[in-house]
Amino acid sequence: MSPLLSVKDLVKEFHMKAARGARRQKRVVQAVSGVSFDVARGETLGVVGESGSGKTTVGRCVLRLIEPTSGHVLFNGRDLATVNFDDMRQLRRKMQIVFQDPYASLDPKMTVGASIAEPLVVQNVQGNHEDKVVSLLELVGLSADHARRFPHEFSGGQRQRIGVARALALDPELIVLDEPVSALDVSIQAGVVNLFADLQQRLGMSYIFIAHDLSVVRHIADRVAVMYLGKIMEIGDAETVYQKPSHPYTKALMSAVPVPNPRVERGRTRITLEGDVPSPVNPPTGCRFRTRCWKATDLCAMHEPPLELRATGQLSACHHPEI
């Protein structure tokens, strides 16, 4: 069966002017550089990495909220880069996003019911919008009475549930979850993540779950893509990537994830990466992770490693893989 979403060689560059001076040149920020992956129907792909790795940019390019510089994004076999405005408007019914900040993503002047019904109005969906809003609120664990209230009357977790209800209004096939629990208290994160898992089981949607919290991603993702400085370092089955990381960067990330067992936690060795993430304006030659990698050699500086299949089943881009 063909994948629901297929991303091939996605590139996104941002052009910006240099600071004032004698030589004013435009600088190019390489936010995403040649990213490729597939998302199957009913699957959750977790996209993880440090801040500035390009994971949010990938999500927004997939939905064409920002235009890719080059590459292909195929949704149900259609290349989104080639569709016109009217066709893209129709396709947006099947692709939605839940934003990171539930406080900023809702209009404070609109009632919750009006916010959830807005996609139905914009897309000229016929039928009783009030009944649809009530069913969506109940689907995400809220009540019909909440439709008449305003966003400031709700907690962060409730607001995020409202954002989820709005995303579900048009019965999408794919939802991009852009760090959907990072702005919430730890005590309510699990409830929202469980909601995503329950909705997927009931409605059969696909997710791209973008996050920097690896423990959250492990709970919900079927596969995981690890990004660093605009590139995918490793991608594969979630349990394989977590248990047997192939790329040194993935191994360093996994070593920082706490284990809920004091004895095991005390016996673990954490890998501390030296230095900072290089600038995307002037990324390192060869492997982009080599400036912080304890296994780097001259080969890493001369040649960029391709994503290659490892014996454990995942793909990783490393000349000296862990496995």
Q: Kindly report, residue by residue over 219-233, the tens digit of the pLDDT.
A: 899 999 999 999 999
* Widest pairwise Cα distance in the chain: 65
For the segment 259-272, the average pLDDT, to the nearest whole number, is 72
Q: How many residues does the chain have?
A: 323
Q: In angstroms, rounded to a whole number, what is the distance separating the alpha carbons of residues 249 and 295? A: 10
Mean pLDDT of the chain: 91
Which pLDDT belongs to residue 21? 57
For the segment 213-223, the average pLDDT, to the nearest whole number, is 90
What pLDDT, in 10s, does the model give residues 162-212? 999 999 999 999 999 999 988 888 888 889 999 999 999 999 999 999 998
Q: Which phi and psi (to 5°) does residue 14 adopt?
A: -110, 130
Q: Where are the domains of the chain?
A: 40-64+84-221, 245-323
C-alpha angle 58/62/67, rounded to 5°?
85
Work out the pLDDT band at 267, boundaries 50, 70, 90. low
HEC string of the chain?
CCCCEEEEEEEEEEEEECCCCCCCCEEEEEEEEEEEEEECCCCEEEEECCCCCCHHHHHHHHCCCCCCCEEEEEECCEECCCCCHHHHHHHHHHEEEECCCCCCCCCCCCCHHHHHHHHHHHCCCCCCHHHHHHHHHHHCCCCHHHHHCCHHHCCHHHHHHHHHHHHHCCCCCEEEEECCCCCCCHHHHHHHHHHHHHHHHHHCCEEEEEECCHHHHHHHCCEEEEEECCEEEEEEEHHHHHHCCCCHHHHHHHHCCCCCCHHHHHHCCCCCCCCCCCCCCCCCCCCCCHHHCCCCCHHHHHCCCCCEECCCCCEECCCCCCC
Which pLDDT belongs to residue 118? 94
Least confident interval from 12-26, 55-69, 79-93, 102-116:
12-26
Q: Which CATH number fits domain 40-64+84-221: 3.40.50.800, 3.40.50.300, 3.40.640.10, 3.30.230.70?
A: 3.40.50.300
Which pLDDT belongs to residue 81? 86
Q: Tell me, what amino acid is at 7?
A: V
Q: Tell me, what amino acid is at 26?
A: K
Question: Which residues are registered as beta bridge partners of 227?
Answer: 232
Q: Is the pLDDT of residue 277 over 80?
A: yes
Q: In angstroms, rounded to a whole number, what is the distance separating the alpha carbons of residues 92 and 300? A: 41
Which pLDDT belongs to residue 264? 67
pTM of the model: 0.92
Which pLDDT belongs to residue 25? 66
Residue 190 near residue 182 (C-beta atoms within 8 A): no
For the segment 286-293, the average pLDDT, to the nearest whole number, is 94
Measure CA 153 to chain center.
28
Share of the chain above pLDDT 70, in %: 96
Q: Which phi and psi (to 5°) does residue 18 adopt?
A: -75, 165
Sheet with 5-17, strands from edge to edge, namely 26-39, 5-17, 70-75, 78-79
Question: Which residues are registered as beta bridge partners of 206?
Answer: 174
What pLDDT, in 10s, does the model give residues 61-88? 999 999 999 999 999 999 998 898 888 8
Q: Which phi and psi (to 5°) does residue 13 adopt?
A: -120, 140
